[in-house]
């Protein structure tokens, strides 16, 4: 075989080497196999780390790796937020549990038992509260126990329980205030509760009758002698009647109710009207409207007492 100047150098190399077979020659002359080219490509995608069999090809994609790192950071952030929220809840539960630690254990046990009885009473809760008030068992501690239960229900998002406990708290608080109030304030509370929300004229008639039955007559003769006294059948000296402990004079009622109205009106001037349409603003306005209706009723009762005639 003649060698020309155009003969490739690899042909010269083949001729100086032992003669390969045709199949060996084909193997040398054909391009690199598929596995070899794939290996080259995979190595080019990950130059600084060794190849690991069984891993997906995305493992060697830099963009995919970056996305995975961002996902990992986000998961760590969410986990940290969950742990912080859990710690906050634990701290809140701990704070709720330690509110009552300064009260005597025996008193705390009785208050919790009383509140549990109110909750189980269902429709008879009004009677149970009044009976407890008669026995002198309604105290600030009872209110604190109800408040704690309501706080726990709020933390657990138990809306029905929160609503029921809120009503129970208000009812017990009203009964406590009623027992501690003066005779004038107790009478005012009873008169307001007599209103059915519809028949205003009928309510005023009932209130007038209640006032006449409650206030002693104020003519000079009735001040000196008891009701039903017949001077024509009396012998001896006239003595003024002893003042009863629960006796309520009309002048005392008028004075206390007027003072209450002045205080409430002053508080109303300090409050700013909420004009938003969110739930909190709407609830505030409704509460203010209800308060204004009650103030108007108290003003009506005050005017009735001032002009009362027997």
Per-residue DSSP letters for the chain?
----TTS-HHHHHHHHSPPPPHHHHHHHHSPPPHHHHHHHHHHHH-SSS---TT--GGGG-HHHHHHHHHHHHHHHHHHHHHHHHHHHHHHHHHHHHTTTTTS-HHHHHHHHHHHHHHHHHGGGHHHHHHHHHHTT---HHHHHHHHHHHHHHHHTT-HHHHHHHHHHHHHHHHHHHHHHS-HHHHHHHHHHHT--SS-HHHHHHHHHHHHHHHSPP-SHHHHHS-TT--GGG--S---PPPPPTT---HHHHHHHHHHHHHHHHHHHHHSPPP---SHHHHHHHHHHHHHHHHHHHHHHHHHHHHT---
Give the pLDDT confidence score for residue 256 in this predicted structure: 92
**Confidence (pTM):** 0.50
Could you give the angle at the alpha carbon of 240 between the alpha carbons of 235 and 244, nearest 5°?
A: 125
- Structural domain boundaries enclosing 167: 101-180
203-226: per-residue pLDDT in tens?
Answer: 999 999 999 999 987 765 555 555
The total of structural domains in the chain comes to: 3
**For residue 110, which of 144, 86, 82, 142 has the smallest C-alpha distance?**
142
Q: Does the residue 13 lie in any domain?
A: no
Q: Does the residue 33 lie in any domain?
A: no
Residues 188 and 176 in one domain: no
Q: Does the residue 60 lie in any domain?
A: yes
pLDDT above 70 coverage of the chain, percent: 67
Q: Does the residue 29 lie in any domain?
A: no
Residues 218 and 147 in one domain: no
Residues 156 and 49 in one domain: no
Given 98, 119, 142, which residue is the final one in a domain? Answer: 98
Identify the band that residue 302 occupies on the pLDDT scale cut at 50, 70 and 90: very high
Residues 207 and 291 in one domain: yes
**For residue 218, which of 229, 205, 227 has the smallest C-alpha distance?**
227
Least confident of 169-183, 211-225, 253-267: 211-225
114-159: per-residue pLDDT in tens?
Answer: 999 999 988 889 899 999 999 989 998 999 999 988 888 888 888 8
Give the pLDDT confidence score for residue 303 in this predicted structure: 93
Identify the band that residue 277 occupies on the pLDDT scale cut at 50, 70 and 90: low
Residues 151 and 257 in one domain: no
Residues 196 and 263 in one domain: yes
Query: Which single residue is written with the structure tokens 């003519």?
Result: 219
Residues 211 and 262 in one domain: yes
Q: Does the residue 31 lie in any domain?
A: no
Q: Does the residue 80 lie in any domain?
A: yes
Give the pLDDT confidence score for residue 23 in this predicted structure: 45
Residues 166 and 219 in one domain: no
């Amino acid at each position: 075989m003649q060698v020309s100047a155009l003969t490739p150098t690899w042909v010269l190399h083949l001729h100086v080497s032992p003669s390969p077979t045709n199949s060996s020659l084909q193997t040398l002359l054909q391009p690199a196999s598929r596995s070899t080219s794939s290996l080259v490509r995979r190595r080019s995608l990950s130059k600084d780390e060794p190849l690991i069999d069984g891993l997906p090809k995305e493992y060697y994609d830099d963009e995919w790796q970056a996305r995975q790192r961002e996902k990992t950071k986000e998961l760590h952030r969410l986990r940290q937020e969950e742990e912080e929220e859990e710690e906050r809840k634990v701290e809140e539960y701990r704070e709720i549990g330690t509110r009552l630690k300064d009260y005597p254990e025996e008193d705390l046990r009785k208050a919790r038992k009383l509140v549990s009885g109110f909750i189980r009473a269902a429709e008879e809760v009004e009677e149970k509260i009044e009976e407890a008030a008669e026995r002198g068992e309604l105290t600030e501690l009872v209110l604190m126990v109800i408040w704690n239960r309501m706080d726990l229900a709020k933390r657990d998002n138990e809306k029905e329980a929160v609503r029921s406990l809120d009503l129970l708290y208000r009812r017990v608080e009203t009964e406590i205030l009623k027992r501690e109030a003066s005779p004038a304030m107790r009478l005012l509370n009873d008169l307001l509760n007599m209103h059915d929300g519809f028949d205003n004229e009928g309510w005023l008639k009932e209130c007038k009758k209640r006032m006449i039955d409650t206030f002693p007559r104020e003519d000079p003769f009735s001040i000196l002698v008891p009701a039903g006294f017949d001077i024509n059948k009396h012998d001896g000296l006239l003595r003024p009647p002893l003042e009863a402990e629960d006796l309520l004079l009309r002048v005392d009622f008028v004075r206390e109710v007027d003072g209450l109205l002045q205080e409430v009106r002053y508080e109303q001037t300090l409050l700013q009207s909420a004009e938003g349409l969110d739930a909190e603003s709407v609830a505030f306005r409704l509460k203010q409207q209800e308060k204004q209706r009650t103030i108007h009723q108290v003003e009506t009762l005050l005017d009735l007492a001032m002009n009362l005639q027997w």
